[in-house]
Amino acid sequence: MVATAAIVLAAGQGTRMRSRIPKVLHPLAGRPMIEHVLASLAAAGIEHPVVVIGFGADQVEAGLAGRVPTVRQEPQLGTADAVRRGMERVPTEARHVLVTMGDVPLLPAELFQRLLREQAEGEATIALLAASVDDPAGYGRVVRGADGAARAIVEHRGADEATRAGNEVNVGTYCFDATWLRANVGNVPASASGEYYLTDLVEVAAAGGRRVAVVSAPEAGLTIGINDRSAMAQADATLRARIISEHQRNGVTIVDPATTFIDAGVEIGQDARIEPFSILAGSTVIAQDAVIGPRAEIRDCRIGPRTRVWASVVEGSTVAEDVQIGPYSHVRPGCQIGPRCEIGDHAELKNATLGAGTRQHHFSYLGDSEVGERVNIGAGTITANYDGERKHRTVIGDGAFIGVDTLLRAPVTVGAGARTGAGAVVTRDVAPGKTVVGMPARPIELRRRRAELAAERNPQHGGGTPRPDA
Amino acid sequence: MVATAAIVLAAGQGTRMRSRIPKVLHPLAGRPMIEHVLASLAAAGIEHPVVVIGFGADQVEAGLAGRVPTVRQEPQLGTADAVRRGMERVPTEARHVLVTMGDVPLLPAELFQRLLREQAEGEATIALLAASVDDPAGYGRVVRGADGAARAIVEHRGADEATRAGNEVNVGTYCFDATWLRANVGNVPASASGEYYLTDLVEVAAAGGRRVAVVSAPEAGLTIGINDRSAMAQADATLRARIISEHQRNGVTIVDPATTFIDAGVEIGQDARIEPFSILAGSTVIAQDAVIGPRAEIRDCRIGPRTRVWASVVEGSTVAEDVQIGPYSHVRPGCQIGPRCEIGDHAELKNATLGAGTRQHHFSYLGDSEVGERVNIGAGTITANYDGERKHRTVIGDGAFIGVDTLLRAPVTVGAGARTGAGAVVTRDVAPGKTVVGMPARPIELRRRRAELAAERNPQHGGGTPRPDA
Amino acid sequence: MVATAAIVLAAGQGTRMRSRIPKVLHPLAGRPMIEHVLASLAAAGIEHPVVVIGFGADQVEAGLAGRVPTVRQEPQLGTADAVRRGMERVPTEARHVLVTMGDVPLLPAELFQRLLREQAEGEATIALLAASVDDPAGYGRVVRGADGAARAIVEHRGADEATRAGNEVNVGTYCFDATWLRANVGNVPASASGEYYLTDLVEVAAAGGRRVAVVSAPEAGLTIGINDRSAMAQADATLRARIISEHQRNGVTIVDPATTFIDAGVEIGQDARIEPFSILAGSTVIAQDAVIGPRAEIRDCRIGPRTRVWASVVEGSTVAEDVQIGPYSHVRPGCQIGPRCEIGDHAELKNATLGAGTRQHHFSYLGDSEVGERVNIGAGTITANYDGERKHRTVIGDGAFIGVDTLLRAPVTVGAGARTGAGAVVTRDVAPGKTVVGMPARPIELRRRRAELAAERNPQHGGGTPRPDA
């Protein structure tokens, strides 16, 4: 077992981003750019990643949250200097050291592995990654010898005509023999600006008679570096297309890939169907045969088989099978929605549990609630769960019928099979099977008796017995 | 009049789809894939289509719903065997038989007609459709003789270098002389795997001295076969772009074709404007000068001239001219909305009729209702149309003013010109021109007299006369 | 200072648009097509623009609203005739006259300036704009002499083989020496159809020994003419992409340019983030670090730093910093929303002012309202601001707590620190610090006393004291 390390260079500011946020923290497909680099390195089996930080170091450290060692480069004296600092955190047992850029987020694990193999098995001191591009202006050119090995990397501005004619450019990703790197990274000559460039190590190695292998990227698009917001949008699109292709191969229908946004890490079952204008974010799992969208936004949820989420937002919740949600509903975090429930349109839930077959209709809000099975929540029903200081719970039993525009002032319990009249303001618990009406809501028998008594006292007013509201 | 038939091959599973749904039932632009094939055949004037089914035969038969004859291929012994089975259902008077694939959905009627003409008028026994593709690997190559006629179709894996160098490939669509096909489809030799391939008929015909004409598809994109979900998404995009081009030619503004989804069969009038993120589905008709979107979803509706549907869902309803809907409104099936109505924002209707000039505002729900002209429906108004067992109707007369948060417990009628107070719970019919207030709502004169009587009895409480709510 | 003029030709009907609206009034990126032409001319420093109108002249004049002089071409006898009419409105002091088409909307100011320079400084009588296109069929070809100057423009149908082989076509944009143009525009021979073509002036000039310079457009896409709705959609996409690139260069993150619609003239601060499916329209200003979308629609608003607008519509309003809006909320025109407010989900405001830290929750509507700081607006709260005839104002003081489902019948004032019970129907002003409950809402002490009195009279009914609702 040979130990491998990686140094990710993430010290630069990226001035063309015109941002106060460190470049490597800008998100792509739902994750900071650098996380894509670290994920590819992990997938390639690299054991010891180190991130070299500089600009916005506190923010970057906070963003990485201790999941990977960091080292600060201060002052920032070029890429060779950054690697020299990174080597301080690379364990001495590491035999191969990948070096790559934190703002080159699309390199797949396979390319890192190829660099490792070329360096290790090809007996090269360095293996560098090259790309053939249509317009190489501005890039460092890879200069090869007759044997195909690299002799040097020549910056565009220092290149002669013949070298500029080449279109094989340096990506900035290498695998080094660790011992050689440790011994030589400090030997790079300073540039005119006083910085030390990693690219010069290629000439150092070649001049010392060592082999520098070249690995060609299969497509230049994979090697894109994020220098501005436009490149960032392109990389985001590439990542999303890659994610969508994978779901398609797994048997998911994506009606329109161009208007579907799926974060890395989302899981989707076979024969699920994702309609246009939908966003699946965070650690979301969609079961088979679900229909998502159009216009669904789902974040950190589990969605059950055959469930449909239509033109709604669902966050941090678990939704069982055969549920209908939407349109224009909002399931906020902490909900558990049972099988065959109907939510909406225009319904809102927060921190609520709904039993199987419960229906919650239009313009209703259930917050901090436990609702049983087969409950009917009438239109306009609202749980008053907040008294200005604390949140209180509402409990509704199986088979209850909550009339339209019912107001439930928590804490309150409505028993199984109970009914509330339309417009009832429920301020006290309702016993199972009972019907309450009015404001404040009281049992219907009591209301009736009061009305009869009043009629006896004032017979001219008639009054009339209210029927049970529905 | 020469009888023509077509055999559509739809027996395969399409394993790369990774689906439990038969491939030809997956929808494109709102219709099962095979319906596009059948529609093109119908447009080409083919009289006798037959679909050969196999995998998921019950589902496919259910999907076709008896609109086209089917025959089952069991076991599935290759395309020649499938055509042999299909011929059992082709009427004997048919003189020309088109054969095409159920998963090649973009072929236009014109190409089927060209095949028919080439076969019939060109005195060919077979006319086959060929496409020139950039990457022919994996496809059967069309091998032509010096006279331009086809000699054979050679599968990629059986082809020699010279044949592989060709990029003219077989699409799988043919027109046959019916008599010859009937006589020869059983003469195809079995392959090594025991299957019978239709492509071998080309060599059978050519060897027998018969002419096999080649029709070249004008663009290879039309001949795309759906083998996986990625190809399906591409075909969907192609179909949608085709539909949108047609509307553009008719004088419809599609602000952004890439984010507009219009099903086949939708009709749109001149100078209508479709804004981004909109979906027009089913048998929808949009009148001239309507403004649809952004973010509209309309299914099976008629939308009148100059009407605007903004960020709303409208289903199965008829909307007259000069109506404003949205944002965030939901018109559910069965509604008739009169001229100059205003719906929303955040309004919901179901099975409701609204007269001219009626306004239904925020967070209101009208279900199973007949509403007259020039009615004002206040915010939060809800029809309690469901008592847990049945739905009841609400009737509101012309010029009525329904105060905010009114609850209408159906069955109930509010007369023309009547008013309800804010928060009224209407449980009884309201006479024309009357004002009711309170919970339950009662005529305002009666309330006033009761309050006065109470004040006489308890003078210390004051009380005060409620003004008419609005 | 040399005076410059421009004649914009906008007389044609554009029959392939199939529209009753004059072509140049069709909007692109939120502005009528011709406004883009006029904006480029203004940016190029042209002092005296004139628009020649014909088809739909009244509509075009109304659309231009007097901001630019117009002249009518009636009857429409070709482009030379139109320029002749235009010259009637060009001031005599103008030395250089640009001529361009009202339906060629993507030409940047730089190209107009290059034409001016080429004509003025290159001592040319005419400088014409040419484009190299892949498929020149149908376009007029630029025929050059050995010196590179244009000799003639030859229409496609009149061109010989050699001329048709050329792919350098005439765009229809020129700069003329004003004196020469005035003298010669009437000398163009009539065509067979009786029309006078501006292109013939090139041959007139060249035959007279005058130089006709050719300016080549850097990309043909800039010279696109809008002849049908398809070209219009393409031009719209090009304009939008140009706008988005500019915002990206300024440090704005546009997650997905393809699903983001930003009108010309919108301003966005650094590190703002525009999520997919968003529309920024009109004269909108978004501050730095704001998060807009997904699914936001903002028109004519100022949005403060760090504010998030999520899946909501905001129109004609000012929103301060650190505000949360959405999802499914609608801020209608005339609102001022203070710092740290929370709006929604499912909230609606119109002509309302909210103080700092106020929270307006679900299914609530505030119209014509002044709301103080730190106010809590409960779910379902509705201002009844309309009595069928007039709109009235609602005033709510700092720190008030409006219980869920409160109905506020305007005109009404709720004092600072006051509370309303759940379901209260507030018809009278509430004093500061007081709590009101019931329908109609009355001070809680009064209700309590009445209940006690009733209990004394009818002790068997109990009654119970309502707790303060929340």
Whole-angstrom Cα distance, residue A39 to residue A108? 9
Is the CB of B18 inside 8 Å of chain C's CB atoms? no
Q: Is residue B452's pLDDT more than 70?
A: no
Chain A partners (3+ C-beta pairs within 8 A): B, C
Whole-angstrom Cα distance, residue B217 to residue B225? 14
Whether residue B279 and residue A259 make contact (CB cut-off 8 A), yes or no, is: no
The alpha carbon of residue B403 is apart from the nearest alpha carbon of chain C, in Å, by 8
Do C412 and C426 meet the contact criterion of CB atoms below 8 Å apart? yes
Whether residue A405 and residue B409 make contact (CB cut-off 8 A), yes or no, is: no
Pick the residue of B256, B289, B360 with the most C CBs within 10 A to test the interface with C by mutation. B256
The alpha carbon of residue B33 is apart from the nearest alpha carbon of chain C, in Å, by 27
Predicted ipTM of the assembly: 0.91
| Tokens coding A315 | 């966050």
Is the CB of B232 inside 8 Å of chain A's CB atoms? yes
Whole-angstrom Cα distance, residue A79 to residue A81? 5
Confidence bin at B454 (pLDDT 50/70/90): low
Whole-angstrom Cα distance, residue A103 to residue A231? 10
Judged by phi (left if over 0) then psi (alpha if -120 to 50, else beta), residue C371 lies in: beta
Do C173 and C107 meet the contact criterion of CB atoms below 8 Å apart? yes
Q: Which of A327, A405, A464 sits opposite B330 (nearest CB)?
A: A327
Percentage of residues of chain B with pLDDT beyond 70: 96
Q: Give the chain A residue whose CA is nearest to the CA of B327.
A: A328
CA distances from B220 to B108, B225, C396 (A): 12, 11, 68
Whether residue C380 and residue B376 make contact (CB cut-off 8 A), yes or no, is: no
Whether residue C427 and residue B467 make contact (CB cut-off 8 A), yes or no, is: yes
Which residues of chain C have a CB within 8 Å of the CB of A380? 363, 380
Do A376 and A388 meet the contact criterion of CB atoms below 8 Å apart? no
Q: Which of C19, C384, C386 sits opposite B251 (nearest CB)?
A: C19
C459 preceded by a cis bond (ω within 30 of 0):
no
Q: Give the chain C residue whose CA is nearest to the CA of B364.
A: C363
Pick the residue of B295, B329, B345, B460 with the most C CBs within 10 A to test the interface with C by mutation. B345
Q: pLDDT (tens digit, 9 = 90+) per residue, B228-251? A: 999 999 999 999 999 999 999 999
The pLDDT mean for chain C works out to 92
Q: pLDDT (tens digit, 9 = 90+) per residue, B179-233? A: 999 999 998 999 988 999 999 999 999 999 999 999 999 988 899 999 999 999 9
Q: Give the chain C residue whose CA is nearest to the CA of B460.
A: C450
Whether residue C407 and residue B422 make contact (CB cut-off 8 A), yes or no, is: yes
The alpha carbon of residue B384 is apart from the nearest alpha carbon of chain A, in Å, by 6
Q: Which of B26, B330, B453 sits opposite A458 (nearest CB)?
A: B453
The pLDDT mean for chain B works out to 92
Pick the residue of B256, B259, B262, B407 with the most A CBs within 10 A to test the interface with A by mutation. B407
Which residues of chain C have a CB within 8 Å of the CB of B296? none
B362 has catalytic annotation: yes
**Read out DSSP for C176-203?**
EEHHHHHHHGGGPPP-TTS---TTHHHH
How are beta strands C126-132 and B302-303 bridged, if at all?
unpaired
**DSSP 8-state symbol, B377:** E
A:406-425 residues touching chain C, CB 8 A cutoff: 407, 409, 423, 425
**DSSP 8-state symbol, A469:** P
Do B8 and B51 meet the contact criterion of CB atoms below 8 Å apart? yes
Is the CB of B173 inside 8 Å of chain C's CB atoms? no
Amino acid in position A150: A
Is the CB of A390 inside 8 Å of chain B's CB atoms? no
Is the CB of A374 inside 8 Å of chain B's CB atoms? no
pTM of the prediction?
0.92
Q: Which of A26, A388, A439 sits opposite C470 (nearest CB)?
A: A388
Whether residue B237 and residue A256 make contact (CB cut-off 8 A), yes or no, is: yes
**DSSP 8-state symbol, C466:** P
Q: Which of B228, B277, B348 sits opposite A248 (nearest CB)?
A: B228
CA distances from C281 to A319, A325, C206, C266 (A): 37, 31, 47, 7
The alpha carbon of residue B463 is apart from the nearest alpha carbon of chain C, in Å, by 9
Is the CB of C180 inside 8 Å of chain B's CB atoms? no
CB count in 10 Å sphere of residue A134: 6
Q: Give the chain B residue whose CA is nearest to the CA of A252.
A: B229
Q: Which residue's entry shows tokens 């001592």?
A: C123
Of A94-108, B80-94, B448-462, the range with the lowest mean pLDDT is B448-462
SS3 B260: strand
Chain C partners (3+ C-beta pairs within 8 A): A, B
Who has greater pLDDT, A204 or B387?
Answer: A204
- β partners of residue B51: B8, B70
The alpha carbon of residue C302 is apart from the nearest alpha carbon of chain A, in Å, by 21
Length in residues, chain B = 470
Count chain A–chain C contacts defined by CB atoms under 8 A: 127
Is the CB of B295 inside 8 Å of chain C's CB atoms? yes
Is the CB of C328 inside 8 Å of chain A's CB atoms? yes
Do A4 and A47 meet the contact criterion of CB atoms below 8 Å apart? yes
Whether residue C348 and residue B362 make contact (CB cut-off 8 A), yes or no, is: yes
Q: Which residues of chain C have pLDDT under 50?
A: 459-470
Chain B partners (3+ C-beta pairs within 8 A): A, C
**DSSP 8-state symbol, A17:** G
| Tokens coding B447 | 């309330």
On the 0-12 / 13-18 / 19+ scale of CB atoms within 10 A, B130 is buried
Whole-angstrom Cα distance, residue C253 to residue C276? 11
The alpha carbon of residue A382 is apart from the nearest alpha carbon of chain C, in Å, by 7
The alpha carbon of residue C312 is apart from the nearest alpha carbon of chain B, in Å, by 9
Q: Which of A230, A236, A279 sits opposite C248 (nearest CB)?
A: A230
Is the CB of A230 inside 8 Å of chain C's CB atoms? yes
Do C153 and C141 meet the contact criterion of CB atoms below 8 Å apart? yes
Q: Which of C248, C419, C423 sits opposite A439 (nearest CB)?
A: C423
Whole-angstrom Cα distance, residue A403 to residue A384? 16
Find, among B242, B87, B252, the residue nearest to B176 by Cα: B87
Q: Is residue B468's pLDDT more than 50?
A: no
Full 3-state SS string of A74-136 = CCCCCHHHHHHHHHCCCCCCCCEEEEEECCCCCCCHHHHHHHHHHHHHCCCCEEEEEEECCCC
At residue C236, what are phi and psi to the nearest 5 degrees?
-60, -45
The alpha carbon of residue C400 is apart from the nearest alpha carbon of chain B, in Å, by 21
Confidence bin at B470 (pLDDT 50/70/90): very low
pLDDT mean values, one per 10 residues, chain A (470 residues)? 89 90 94 96 96 95 94 94 96 96 96 96 94 90 94 88 89 97 93 93 95 94 94 96 96 97 96 98 97 98 98 98 98 98 96 98 94 96 86 96 94 97 93 92 79 59 33
Is the CB of C190 inside 8 Å of chain B's CB atoms? no
SS3 C447: helix
**Read out DSSP for A174-232?**
EEEEHHHHHHHGGGPPP-TTS---TTHHHHHHHHTT--EEEEE-S-GGGG----SHHHH
Q: pLDDT (tens digit, 9 = 90+) per residue, C247-256? A: 999 999 999 9
Q: Give the chain C residue whose CA is nearest to the CA of B462.
A: C446
Count chain B–chain C contacts defined by CB atoms under 8 A: 126
C:252-271 residues touching chain A, CB 8 A cutoff: 252-259, 270-271
Whole-angstrom Cα distance, residue A436 to residue A428? 10
